[in-house]
Amino acid sequence: MTTATTFVGSSVKRVEDPEFITGSGTYLDDIKLPGMAHMAILHSPHAHARIRGIDTSKAQQHPGVLAVFTGKDTAGINPLPCAWQAGGVENHVNTPHVLASDEVRYVGDAVAVVVAEDPYTARDALELIEVDYEPLPAVVDPEKATQEGAPQLHENAPNNVCMRWTAGNQEATDRAFEQAEVVVKQRLVNQRLIPTAMETRGAIGSYNPGTGEFTIWMTSQAPHVMKLLLAAFVLNVPENKIRCISPDVGGGFGSKIFCYADMALVAFASRQLGRPVKYVEDRTENYQWTTHGRDHVTYAEIAGTRDGRITGLRVRTYANLGAYLSTIAPGIPTTLYGRMVPGVYKIPATFVEVLGVYTDTAMVDAYRGAGRPEAAYLIERMVDLFAREVGMDPAEVRRRNFVPPNEFPHDNGVGMLPYDSGEYEKALNRALELSGYPEFRREQEEARRQGRLLGVGLSSYVEVCGVAPSAWIGLNGQGWGAGLWESANVRVHLTGKAVVTTGTSPHGQGHATTFAQLVADELGVPMEDVIVEHGDTQGTPFGFGTYGSRSLAVGGSAILRSTAKIREKARKLAAHMLEASEEDVVWENGRFTVRGSPESARTIPEIALAAATGYSLPEGMEPYLDETSYYDPPNCTFPFGTHVCMVEVDRDTGETRLVRYVAVDDVGNVINPMIVDGQLHGGIVQGVAQAMWEQGVYTEDGQLVTGSLMDYALPKASMLPNFELDRTVTPTNVNAMGAKGAGEAGTIAATPAVVNAVMDALAPLGIRHLDMPLAPEKVWHAIQERSASQKEER
């Protein structure tokens, strides 16, 4: 038996793996219920059109078809909710109906469903539905959508503006720019990304006519929130009559947080037909109508002194929200982006203006990093452009402007909660040292003389995670429609085996391992005696789910509250069992002993037995060790670090080769280093991919070009170098573990590091900025243009 206090901090192998590695996990599409029927969805092929009529008669007569539903049939279902409006400003809210009946506003808008005996038949019958569309003009670019004469999506949102939101001090910022020695301006496009979890989304609805209860299996990162939203806002069913279950979920990256039409449709269809109904989207649907991420057009200006001090930052961003508001869409480019743009720098005056804009595209919502990657990209690109303008090394400019370690908690001036802790220069120094930055600069100089294009890029980032204190994020503050605490129940059964239930809902992060490590140490039991359950709203306490790198910082804290309560009760019972006074009973080496006589001891399993049998309990004590906690954090956490990317660009082909990638991250204390490294690896891959390859592309009239894995440039194994990871550790005092969160750091840091490296490589050609992705063709064109104009200049 392994003893206590050995699990936290060690790279324990994941308890999830044996199931996944043998193919015996249970993902949504692996679930088969007796009598289950299959649903397929007809999506609009037009970006914008009026629906003049829908003829479903042929589909209804197709053999094997059980029912066809259109918007007329689902008129009793409310539009999907928007649960996070931009705080403090008016939002012109438009959310989708589960089936559109009068107008469609993007390619992918749902128009009708077929329920059939099997999925093949359901899909065959979709082709028999005739929809009479009257095409309307469409707009896909968020900046163009706000201009005079652009096609209008919603009556209540003139010029397609959903909301205008600001943060910071406009007057002081304007003054800083008037007085600045140097001003650098740049238009930056943070392109649309498509999350592309390997498992597509889906849902199974099962209605029990006897009890009036719905069970809905779903590929969700937040099943409790879905239960709440579907009950209270969409289906008008009492909340205690809906049970939501997230089985194993094959990746989400944000896209599975949200409330989708199919969740309501399978529930509706099941009630209509009296049979369970399954829907699983195919890959094309996943690209068309599961939410996208990013998509900002930003005008950024940075002001400073000739000696490299930043004195002001002014930002105006057009944030594309898509055709309607997804569940938490407006909160992303405001609270999570606008309030993070100053990054790791002490900037005396910052002003941010964000316009949330409707366009004829798929809804845009949180995608890994959610707002913070856009913020980090903005400030890290601008700092590099500023460094180039004043002729200083970008590392030195960063150093000169960092928030110093003795100035925490730090107020960044744009309304973010105070940054908890940070040693930004320490992480930068470590990254420079590990990557051999000075040597590379010398090598680069030599290479440039030979005409080779070597570049190095830095990204010193800070992010906000562990979201969030309810009083701050909630309706009176940042506009989030509920709280954002987290929950946990810990039970120790009669036999000493423990079960932890959590309101978080993992989908690849290894929570069952990390959480078991925490609990095993706290209870002094072997890890294999602790099982973590999640994802079923029946049997787990209400929780807000997994996103925003919050599950350990907030969910883990709730677990520790519960184990503390168990330990407190167990201590009382141990004293009773050992016939000692409570004050003399102490927790040592994973068991309770009596001070001064270590030979008399009781372990948690022994106490659990006594608590469960109840034969002899102290007066007034209830049987069983079973404690629930709801933990609302006092602050968010702010991980940080510096990534260094080294590249060589091929002058003849425009191709970028990643030569080295060094990441120094500070995520506070680490429970399982192996799992944290995996999260960082994955994050960096997605961040590098945005810089180099990925882009969700629509034609001007709103057709999705990147609608398959052939067209959307997901990185492959052969495209990436090995990453060199290192850590500094600056604990946070926000939670008892001192842990900050690691799920998104890599994605946030990597994108600007790569772009800065490529721009550094292209600097000798006078190329200042290119928008992502830095695909060979784009870089080659830029090189050709510069070479041509340089020849003309000669």
Partner 1 sequence: MATRETSKVPVNLDINGEQYDVLVEPRRTLLDCLREDLGLTGTKRVCDVGNCGACTVIADGRTGYSCLMLAVESEGLKITTIEGLAGEDGLHPVQQAFIQEDALQCGFCTPGQVLSVVSLLERNSDPSDEEIRLAVSGNLCRCGAYPKIFRAARTAAQIMSSK
- Report the distance separating Cα 489 and Cα 534, nearest Å: 11
CB of 691 to partner 1, least distance (A): 14
CB of 674 to partner 1, least distance (A): 5
Which of 31, 499 has the CB closer to partner 1?
31
Strands 640-649, 656-666: pairing is antiparallel
Which of 469, 687 has the CB closer to partner 1?
687
Query: How far, in Å, are 174, 305, 569 from residue 425 at the CA level?
Result: 29, 21, 45
- Report the distance separating Cα 746 and Cα 750, nearest Å: 6
Which of 340, 676 has the CB closer to partner 1?
676
Which of 117, 771 has the CB closer to partner 1?
117
CB of 711 to partner 1, least distance (A): 10
Residues 6 or more apart whose CB falls under 8 angstroms from that of 3 comprise: 524, 589, 590
Strands 213-218, 591-594: pairing is unpaired
Q: Which residues here bind partner 1, judged by CB under 8 A?
A: 11, 13-14, 16-25, 27, 29-30, 32, 63-64, 117, 120-121, 196-200, 248-251, 253, 282-283, 507-510, 674-675, 677-678, 681-686, 708-710, 714-718, 720, 722-723
- Report phi then psi at 365, rounded to 5: -145, -160
Which of 474, 715 has the CB closer to partner 1?
715
CB of 449 to partner 1, least distance (A): 32
CB of 198 to partner 1, least distance (A): 4
CB of 330 to partner 1, least distance (A): 26
DSSP SS3 for 175: helix
- Report phi then psi at 101, rounded to 5: -120, -20
CB of 246 to partner 1, least distance (A): 12
Judge contact between 126 and 327, C-beta under 8 A. Answer: no
Which of 24, 147 has the CB closer to partner 1?
24
CB of 118 to partner 1, least distance (A): 8
Judge contact between 371 and 340, C-beta under 8 A. Answer: yes
Residues 6 or more apart whose CB falls under 8 angstroms from that of 504 comprise: 486, 511, 534, 543, 545, 546, 550, 551, 555
Determine the angle formed by the axes of helices 437-449 and 424-435, rounding to 10 degrees: 50
Which of 192, 507 has the CB closer to partner 1?
507
Concatenated DSSP letters of 20-89:
HHTT---BGGG---TT-EEEEEEE-SSSSEEEEEEE-HHHHHSTTEEEEEETTTTTTSPPPP--BPPTTS
Which of 116, 761 has the CB closer to partner 1?
116
CB of 128 to partner 1, least distance (A): 15
Which of 278, 567 has the CB closer to partner 1?
278
- Report the distance separating Cα 68 and Cα 39, nearest Å: 9
Which of 80, 218 has the CB closer to partner 1?
218
CB of 31 to partner 1, least distance (A): 9
- Report phi then psi at 718, rounded to 5: -80, -5
Strands 723-727, 656-666: pairing is parallel
CB crowding 767-790: b at 16 or more within 10 Å, else e: beebebbbbeeebbebbeeeeeee
